[in-house]
Amino acid sequence: MRVAVLGPIQVSTDDGTPIDVGGARLRGLLARLALSAGRVVQAESLVDALWGEHPPTGAAKALHALVYRLRKALGSVAVESVATGYRLRVRAEDVDAGRFEDLADRGHRELAADRPDRATALLGEALALWRGPALADVLDAPFSGTAAARLEELRIAAAEDRFDAGLRLGRHTDILADLEAACAEHPLRERLAALRMRALHAAGRQADALGVFEQVRSTLADQLGIDPSEELRATRLAVLRGEREVPRARAEAGPGRLPAPLTSFIGRDDELELLSGLLEASRLVTVVGPGGAGKTRLALEAASRHRAHRRDRVWLVSLAGTDVVAEAVLGALSSPGARPVGGGPAEPVDQVAELLGGAEAVLVLDNCEHLVAAAAEFTGRLLERQPYLTVLATSREPLDIIGEAICRLGPLPQPAAVQLFTDRATAVRPGVVLDDEPVVDIVRRLDGLPLALELAAARLRTMDADQIARRLDDRFRLLTSGNRSAQPRQQTMHAVIDWSWDLLIDEEPNTTTSSTHCARPSTVTTPRPPPGSSPRCTGTG
């Protein structure tokens, strides 16, 4: 099955036979599921997407009725019920928006590698998928405005890349008419204006190129009250000097690099799938769980698979060693390759917004628990300024912001916990043969906690599994050697408990005025779900 959303909603079989899906709300449901391309969309998110702030009485039943009608149109197996949501059984490449993003991303990378011929082919194929405005016949659906605006932004960026590739190939005459039409449609796009100036200059029309600059400068001043960008000014200067090789657009800020994983990702496949779905549906997602549950590893795995990571638009910020959220974020964004902050806005949140730019991005805020109030305030203000930003947080308690989606982590189910312990044991002691009984006993007594299992596996350097199982009565003394490169609070189980305890002993009477420590006993006393239970990912607000 193939679904098209880059224009009016269309769906067809693999051999191209059209499938009729009648009704705007039913097409809206199809489009919302298709935009997640095989990933689970929570039922609450679907209700918000289709009815917004005014859901009908019995919204769950109304949604179920829509799903039933969609299954009748597409086939009973096309829409799958999974946990607390639904999934359209299509691949990303079966949805034109997914194919477009993949082709545009590959074209952008070819352009960055200065291979304009390959970039032109890929970008042309990507833009040819568009049949009109995205989601053209479901624009009244509450979700469609943001989704359509995001896709339109990607389309314009891909068109700019294609114009740039054409200029590098010397095809300024061929693209000039299309460039002028694009500039007329988007008079505030400075990169388009710079590309048009380059094309006019290459065609020997220096005066016209300078006229474009003056026109854009006047428009920016009148409508936004700002001056032209550095790129546009540099293009004007090159035209004045008669330089044929006009400076090219400067690259976006580089990512706060995600650390390369040192071990395999085991045991959280269901949670990873749910988290990926939440990242599509919500702009703030918080992974919540006790110390040692693997919150950071899950968040990094999800971020590394997000499409923004392929575009170098993912930043990781650890809050464990800081008392000021904004300074930590600015430090990550101002790494080598990022734009300097000097001369920008005075407010830190505005500086962060400027450094992030306007394209889709993911910001991973790790270890929010000791700065939960400050992290919540900063995140809320930043999300208001950045409509295409998604924040993925990890914490031992939610940030409690309206619209926050929460993914709760408990212990690993026994099969996954056994697999994790065995994998780490094999890495520590290659060729080791483990009996099932002591391994299951270790997993049971350590409550399936990933960090505890990894620390226990590390002890196989000096003892066997039976000895480890017998000595778990004194687990804090036993589990003291693991990864020396980890954060100090994660090197031993005693340090994990100390970190949680420190969050409680600094409690202040007025928690609303404290930005240093959160003081909620639930961060360590919240009951864990029983082993083998399904992950709980929900939306709040």
- What are the DSSP calls for 246-313, one per residue? PPPPPPPPPPBPPPPPSS---S-HHHHHHHHHHHHH-SEEEEE--TTS-HHHHHHHHHHHSHHHHTT-
The confidence score (pLDDT) of residue 252 equals 41
Contact 454, 480 (CB under 8 A): no
Q: What proportion of the chain, given as a percentage, has pLDDT over 90?
A: 44
User: Which CATH number among 3.40.50.300, 3.40.50.720, 2.30.30.280, 1.10.10.10 corresponds to the domain 269-408?
Assistant: 3.40.50.300
Q: Terminus-to-terminus CA distance in the chain, angstroms?
A: 35
The whole-number average pLDDT for the span 227-251 is 75
pLDDT band at 254, cuts 50/70/90? very low
| Phi and psi at residue 286, to the nearest 5° | -120, 125
Residue of 536, 301, 532, 297 whose CA lies nearest to 418 = 532
Rounded CA separation 160/410 (Å) = 46
Contact 47, 141 (CB under 8 A): no
pLDDT band at 451, cuts 50/70/90? confident
Contact 263, 427 (CB under 8 A): yes
SS3 content of the chain, % helix, strand, coil (to 5): 55, 10, 40
Task: Pick the more confident residue, 466 or 31.
Answer: 31
Owner of token pair 């299509």? 90
pLDDT band at 528, cuts 50/70/90? very low
Task: Pick the more confident residue, 68 or 449.
Answer: 68
Query: Which CA distances in Å does 484 have to 301, 310, 386?
Result: 21, 30, 37
* Structure tokens given for 243: 């330089």
The pTM (predicted TM-score) of the whole model is: 0.54
> Could you report the per-residue pLDDT of 314-364, keeping only the tens digit for each?
899 988 878 889 888 888 887 443 344 444 456 888 888 888 877 788 999
Contacts 24+ apart (CB under 8 A), 109-113: 111/161, 111/164, 111/165, 112/251
> Could you report the per-residue pLDDT of 110-136, keeping only the tens digit for each?
998 888 999 999 999 999 999 999 999
Which CATH fold would you assign to the domain 1-156?
Arc Repressor Mutant, subunit A (1.10.10)
Residue 50's contacts (CB-CB under 8 Å, 6 or more residues apart) are: 25, 28, 29, 32, 63, 66, 141, 142, 143
* Structure tokens given for 355: 């450094």
Residue 72: exposure state from Cβ atoms within 10 A (0-12, 13-18, ≥19): exposed
Tell whether domain 170-250 is in CATH 3.40.50.10490: no
The whole-number average pLDDT for the span 259-281 is 84
